């Protein structure tokens, strides 16, 4: 048995385990900070103070919330499909955690430096759909079912403009390896792909395509993570809570955790592909493996803050408008940008 | 043109003669016209469709319990001429029945259901005459003066 | 929308219809309303409202109380705009007893009613935005509403239920800094409204969500007895403050706001909402004019020792923020009313919901319900 395991994963089992756990060690504090950010930013936008009682300025509030969720009774509805109902939150979380395998945190740390990084990301990010449909269907609740159906339709629709945006970058960079893409963007911040990447003055021609492409990807990922204005699957005023209506306690917390982890994933991809990943904006200033992690997390967190900011500002779309936006607005834009970048790559 | 209650009464009297019973104009209270319950649908249609009257707006429809009789009071208003009138019908307490005016003013739909719910007045021709405020299986008509609160409802003690 | 309406009939795509119970416990039914919704996919085929979950036998209670004792019960009908509710009832009893109310009382009543109208419309627009998924304007409005409530609190001690108007007068006179507080409210309301106009009302997503949704044609609205912003949103200038000219409203210069179909068809959700936004401004105007000329006098001068109206009956209606609130009060000459019937605007406005929401999507139904602006305390009484 032992021999089989060693054959299967090689003799560096400890290393693999450590590498598997490092993103989790990052993710747990990140989720707490993101929850606090969500609470505080929403409060500031809405002209109130937000949580103030737990710790100084309420910074311990996320911990209190987690403790509350842990203590809550774990309810499984009597008529729910027990197995699916119970594993759905973990399936969703697995999907989002698996994506961390290829996220390049710094120049010397990426859990798995595979050559098909972007392809892998697209594959595992679709995994969440399975979990959502499982949870929504197994709850045996009409609202949950509606939420799940909407969510699946939405995520699959928005994968397409998102994927084309990623493909455009793949065409542009000529690689699917995220680490290589990052290395290409080193130097000053105008070498980032959102500003046309490194190159001659000809890149001025593609900047008008790169910025819409980045925005397209950002909007598509907002929809994929079910954030306002695309939070139709869990539209509070219509579907109570959508696919997680029936969940409580720790299982609900897993949904919540997966949502915040997904937010970080898409922010990290956006950072890697468009905002220079772990590169310092100022050439060699504060450049290096540790600084790389700092820049990467800072940029990603900035994108997460953008997501939070948008959530508390705009109202929600309707289902048909959501589909309209995806198929008739974002898709043509992303395709045009895709062709423009391909043309540029051919000519320059 | 804004008409007074008396003018409206005269118009109705000339059209329906015997069905219009009386007009009452007391000081400090709204003038009202008592009409025959059987003809109330025709009268309402006349009030709505005649040009000088144009009562297009049913303000309120109230069930009444006059101890010996039941009654229905219609508060009508014309958004075109800004005049108003109150119609009143008196019904028998044993067999309270009056034609529904749901077809004339749709707002009567819920008002009539409420009057049925509270007083047990049957509105003939109402498309969906079921209780509205009380539970669907409630017994008795709460706003009648001789109403006795039931002791139990589905095993729950009612006056608690 | 017309495309959606015909899908079902033309192509007979339907496989099975889903019956969803929206409520009685649901985040956006504004209380304990239950809507039985028949859905064909996302499209609403039928809506059947079931009301009565909050029925508190107001009319039966009123028959057992003396006239002044009914006032607190009236408060609890539309608990968002209690002042307006009280006014309608109190005016009815005054009409029965033929009491002439002092000018000062009328002015204070107008100010209170308009302040409460602003507070009510703030909640209406706020919850409407909340139904559309915009959370932030909700809290802006609640922050401002606090100022209005504190005026009420300083005047009569209550923040939600006031028991302030009484037959023939008011229970308390206003406090010394009342005028300044009112002007501060007016200033703040204008600021916030300008902000919300930019943030929510003119937002592209919000317009897309609400324009051309839940269209209520004017003739249907009148036939269904709709009133208030619901009917005015359809372009009918039916405002009892002008139509009946009750109290001292003819002394004030204000406009009756109607929907104009600016972004969609006339009488859609956006129109109903913008009417409420604009009415807040008109109420501000009335308050500004009124606080300047509050006459002197004793607010309790005309309060009768014994409220014992002669035999008679009266239907008295006023314009509350939600529409025409009428009380049909019958007196048999005793100390207690023989019958009090409340004609609640929410009740009548809600009855049009099935008519205007068929064929739209489920998400639209929630918005249409939000734009009707119901308070279940008043629907169920």
Q: Does C25 touch chain A (CB under 8 A)?
A: no
Instruction: Residue C132: list chain A partners with CB under 8 A.
Output: 237, 315-316
What pLDDT, on a 0 to 100 scale, did the predictor assign at position A317?
85
Peptide bond into C247 cis (omega under 30): no
Q: Please give the span between the terminal C-alpha atoms of chain A, in angstroms, as a whole number.
A: 56
| Six token digits for residue C22 | 């929206």
Buried b (16+ CB within 10 A) or exposed e, A2-16: eeeeeeeeeeeeeee
Q: Which residues contact C272 (CB under 8 A, 6 or more apart)?
A: C216, C229, C230, C233, C259, C371, C372, C373
Mean pLDDT is lowest, of A182-196, B115-129, C316-330, for A182-196
With CA atoms as reference, report the closest residue to C275 among C240, C229, C234, C235: C229
DSSP string covering A288-302: SHHHHHHHHHHHHHH
| Six token digits for residue B86 | 């109150």
ipTM of the complex: 0.87
Pick left, alpha or beta for residue B2 (phi over 0 → left; psi -120 to 50 → alpha; otherwise beta): beta
| SS3 track for A118-165 | HHHHHHHHCHHHHHHHHHHHHCCCHHHHHHHHHHHHHHHHHHHHHHHH
Has residue C15 got a pLDDT over 70? no
What pLDDT, on a 0 to 100 scale, did the predictor assign at position B120?
86
* Mean pLDDT score, C246-260: 85
| SS3 track for chain C | CHHHHHHHHHHCCCCCCEEEEECCCCCCCCCCCEEEEEEECCEEEEEEEECCCCCCCHHHHHHCCCHHHHHHHHHCCCCCCHHHHHHHHHHHHHHHHCCCCCHHHHHHHHHHHHHHHHHHHHHHHHHHHHHCCCCHHHHHHHHHHHHHHHHHHHHHCCCCCCCCEECCEECCCCCCCHHHHHHHHHHHHHHHHHHHHHHHHCCHHHHHHHCCCCCCCHHHHHHCCCCCHHHHCCCCCCCHHHHCCCCCHHHCCCCCCCCCCCCCCCCCHHHHHHHHHHHHHHHHHHHHHHHHCCCCCCCCCCCCCCCCCCCEEEEEEEEECCEEEEEEEEECCCCCCCEEEEECHHHHHHCCHHHHHCCCEHHHHHHHHHHHCCCHHHHHC
The pLDDT tens digits for C163-190 are 888 888 888 888 888 888 889 999 999 9
Q: Does A314 touch chain C (CB under 8 A)?
A: yes
Q: Which residues contact A18 (CB under 8 A, 6 or more apart)?
A: none
Name the more confident of A10 and A140. Answer: A140
**Alpha carbons B87 and B103: distance in angstroms, whole number:** 17
Name the more confident of C15 and A221. Answer: A221
What pLDDT, on a 0 to 100 scale, did the predictor assign at position C1?
44
| Six token digits for residue C307 | 């409220």
What pLDDT, on a 0 to 100 scale, did the predictor assign at position A6?
64
| Six token digits for residue A29 | 């504090």
Q: Closest approach of chain C CAs to the CA of B15, in angstroms?
A: 24
Q: Does C317 touch chain B (CB under 8 A)?
A: yes
Helices C103-131 and C269-292, packing angle to 10 deg: 150
Instruction: Residue C55: list chain B partners with CB under 8 A.
Output: 133-134
Q: Please give the span between the terminal C-alpha atoms of chain C, in angstroms, as a whole number.
A: 35
CB A91 within 8 A of CB A255: no
Q: Please give the span between the terminal C-alpha atoms of chain B, in angstroms, as a whole number.
A: 54
Confidence at C14, pLDDT banded by 50, 70, 90: low
Q: Does C328 touch chain A (CB under 8 A)?
A: no
Q: How many CB atoms sit inside 10 A of residue B6's CB?
A: 12
Interface contact B64-C351, CB threshold 8 A: no
* Mean pLDDT score, C343-361: 87
- The minimal CB distance from C208 to the residues A236, A313, A321 is found for A321
The pLDDT tens digits for C49-84 are 888 888 888 888 888 888 888 888 888 888 888 888
| Six token digits for residue A45 | 């936008």
**Alpha carbons A14 and A1: distance in angstroms, whole number:** 17
Confidence at C10, pLDDT banded by 50, 70, 90: low
What pLDDT, on a 0 to 100 scale, did the predictor assign at position A15?
75
Kindly list the partner chains of chain B, i.e. chains with 3 or more CB atom pairs below 8 Å: C
**Alpha carbons C126 and C131: distance in angstroms, whole number:** 9
| Six token digits for residue A198 | 């490194």
Instruction: Residue A48: list chain C partners with CB under 8 A.
Output: 139, 143
Q: Does C191 touch chain A (CB under 8 A)?
A: no
Whether A and B touch, i.e. at least 3 CB pairs below 8 A, reads as no
Q: Does A308 touch chain C (CB under 8 A)?
A: no
With CA atoms as reference, report the closest residue to A341 among A164, A115, A177: A164
What pLDDT, on a 0 to 100 scale, did the predictor assign at position A8?
64
The pLDDT tens digits for A16-40 are 777 778 888 888 888 888 888 888 8
Kindly list the partner chains of chain A, i.e. chains with 3 or more CB atom pairs below 8 Å: C
* Mean pLDDT score, A305-312: 88
What pLDDT, on a 0 to 100 scale, did the predictor assign at position C374?
86
Helix/strand/coil for A116: coil
Has residue C3 got a pLDDT over 60? no
* Mean pLDDT score, B33-48: 84
With CA atoms as reference, report the closest residue to C30 among C287, C350, C359: C350
CB A337 within 8 A of CB A216: yes
The pLDDT tens digits for C216-235 are 888 888 888 888 888 888 88
Name the more confident of A5 and C367. Answer: C367
What pLDDT, on a 0 to 100 scale, did the predictor assign at position C11?
57
Enclosing H/E stretch for B45: helix B40-49
Token match 């219809």: residue? C17
Has residue C41 got a pLDDT over 60? yes
Give the max Cα distance, chain B. 58
Q: How many CB atoms sit inside 10 A of residue B160's CB?
A: 4
Has residue A2 got a pLDDT over 70? no
- The minimal CB distance from C95 to the residues B28, B63, B64 is found for B28
Instruction: Residue B63: list chain C partners with CB under 8 A.
Output: 341
């Amino acid at each position: 048995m032992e021999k089989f395991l060693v054959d299967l994963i090689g003799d560096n089992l400890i290393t693999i385990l450590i590498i598997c756990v490092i993103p989790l060690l990052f993710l747990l504090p990140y989720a707490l900070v993101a929850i606090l950010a969500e609470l505080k930013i929403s409060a500031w936008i809405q002209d109130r103070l937000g949580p103030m009682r737990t710790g100084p300025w309420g910074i311990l509030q996320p911990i209190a919330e987690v403790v509350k969720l842990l203590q809550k009774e774990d309810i499984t509805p009597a008529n729910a499909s027990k197995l699916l109902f119970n594993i759905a939150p973990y399936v969703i979380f697995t999907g989002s955690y698996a994506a961390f395998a290829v996220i390049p945190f710094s120049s010397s740390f990426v859990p798995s430096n595979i050559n098909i990084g972007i392809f892998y990301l697209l594959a595992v990010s679709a995994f969440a759909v399975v979990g959502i449909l499982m949870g929504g269907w197994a709850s045996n609740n009409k609202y949950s079912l509606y939420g799940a159906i909407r969510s699946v339709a939405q995520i699959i629709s928005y994968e397409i403009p998102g994927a084309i945006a990623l493909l455009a970058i793949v065409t542009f960079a000529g690689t699917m390896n995220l680490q290589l893409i990052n290395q290409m963007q080193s130097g000053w911040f105008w070498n980032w792909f959102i500003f046309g990447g490194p190159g001659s003055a000809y890149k001025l021609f593609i900047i008008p395509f790169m910025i819409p492409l980045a925005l397209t990807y950002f909007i598509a990922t907002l929809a994929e993570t079910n954030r306002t204005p695309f939070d139709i699957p869990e539209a509070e005023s219509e579907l109570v809570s959508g696919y997680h209506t029936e969940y409580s306690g720790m299982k609900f917390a897993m949904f919540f955790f997966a949502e915040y982890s997904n937010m970080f994933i898409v922010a990290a991809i956006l950072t890697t592909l468009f905002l220079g990943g772990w590169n310092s904006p100022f050439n060699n200033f504060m450049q290096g493996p540790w600084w790389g992690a700092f820049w990467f997390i800072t940029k990603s967190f900035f994108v997460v803050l953008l997501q939070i900011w948008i959530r508390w500002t705009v109202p929600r779309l309707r289902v048909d408008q959501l589909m309209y936006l995806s198929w008739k607005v974002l898709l043509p834009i992303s395709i045009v940008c895709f062709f423009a970048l391909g043309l540029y790559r051919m000519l320059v | 043109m804004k008409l007074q209650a008396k003018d409206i009464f005269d118009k109705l009297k000339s059209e329906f003669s015997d069905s219009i019973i009386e007009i009452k104009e007391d000081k400090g209270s709204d003038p009202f016209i008592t009409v025959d319950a059987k003809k109330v649908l025709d009268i309402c249609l006349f009030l709505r469709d005649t040009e000088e009257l144009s009562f297009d707006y049913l303000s309120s429809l109230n069930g009444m319990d006059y101890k010996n009789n039941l009654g229905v009071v219609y508060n009508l208003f014309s958004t075109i001429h800004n005049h108003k009138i109150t119609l009143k019908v008196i019904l028998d307490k044993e067999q309270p029945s009056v034609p529904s005016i749901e077809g004339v003013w749709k707002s009567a739909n819920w008002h009539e259901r409420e009057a049925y719910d509270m007083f047990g007045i049957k509105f003939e021709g109402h498309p969906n005459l079921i209780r509205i405020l009380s539970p669907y299986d409630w017994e008795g008509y709460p706003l009648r003066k001789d109403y006795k609160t039931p002791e139990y409802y589905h095993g729950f003690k009612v006056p608690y | 929308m017309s495309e959606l309406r015909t899908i079902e009939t033309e192509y007979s795509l339907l496989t099975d219809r889903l019956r969803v119970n929206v409520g009685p416990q649901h985040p956006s039914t504004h209380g304990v309303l239950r809507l039985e919704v028949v859905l064909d996919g996302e499209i609403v085929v039928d809506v059947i409202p079931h009301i009565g979950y909050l029925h508190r036998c107001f009319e039966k209670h009123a028959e057992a109380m003396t006239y002044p004792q009914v006032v607190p019960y009236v408060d609890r009908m539309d608990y968002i705009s209690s002042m307006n509710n009280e006014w309608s009832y109190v005016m009815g009893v005054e009409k029965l007893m033929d009491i002439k109310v002092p000018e000062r009382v009328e002015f204070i009543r107008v100010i209170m009613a308009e302040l409460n109208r602003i507070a009510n419309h703030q909640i209406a627009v706020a919850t409407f935005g909340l139904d559309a998924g915009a959370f932030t304007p909700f809290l802006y409005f609640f922050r401002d509403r606090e100022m209005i409530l504190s005026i009420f609190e300083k005047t009569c001690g209550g923040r939600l239920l006031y028991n302030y108007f009484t037959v023939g007068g008011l229970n308390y006179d206003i406090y010394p800094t009342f005028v300044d507080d009112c002007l501060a409210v007016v200033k703040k309301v204008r600021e916030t409204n300008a902000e919300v106009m930019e943030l929510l009302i003119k937002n592209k997503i919000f317009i897309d969500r609400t324009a051309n949704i839940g269209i209520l044609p004017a003739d249907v609205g009148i036939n269904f007895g709709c009133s208030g912003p619901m009917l005015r949103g359809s372009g009918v200038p039916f405002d009892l403050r002008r139509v009946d000219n009750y109290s001292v409203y003819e002394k004030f210069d204000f406009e009756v706001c109607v929907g104009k179909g600016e972004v969609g068809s006339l009488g859609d959700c956006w129109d109903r909402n913008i009417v409420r936004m604009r009415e807040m401004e008109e109420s501000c105007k009335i308050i500004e004019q009124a606080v300047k000329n509050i006459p002197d006098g004793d607010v309790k001068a005309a309060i009768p020792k014994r409220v014992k109206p002669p035999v008679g009956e009266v239907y008295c209606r006023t314009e509350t923020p939600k529409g025409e609130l009428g009380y049909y009060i019958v007196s048999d000459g005793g100390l207690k009313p023989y019958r009090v019937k409340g004609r609640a605007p929410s009740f009548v406005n809600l009855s049009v919901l099935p008519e205007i929401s068929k064929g739209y999507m489920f998400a639209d139904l929630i918005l249409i319900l939000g734009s009707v602006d119901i308070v279940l305390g008043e629907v169920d009484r």
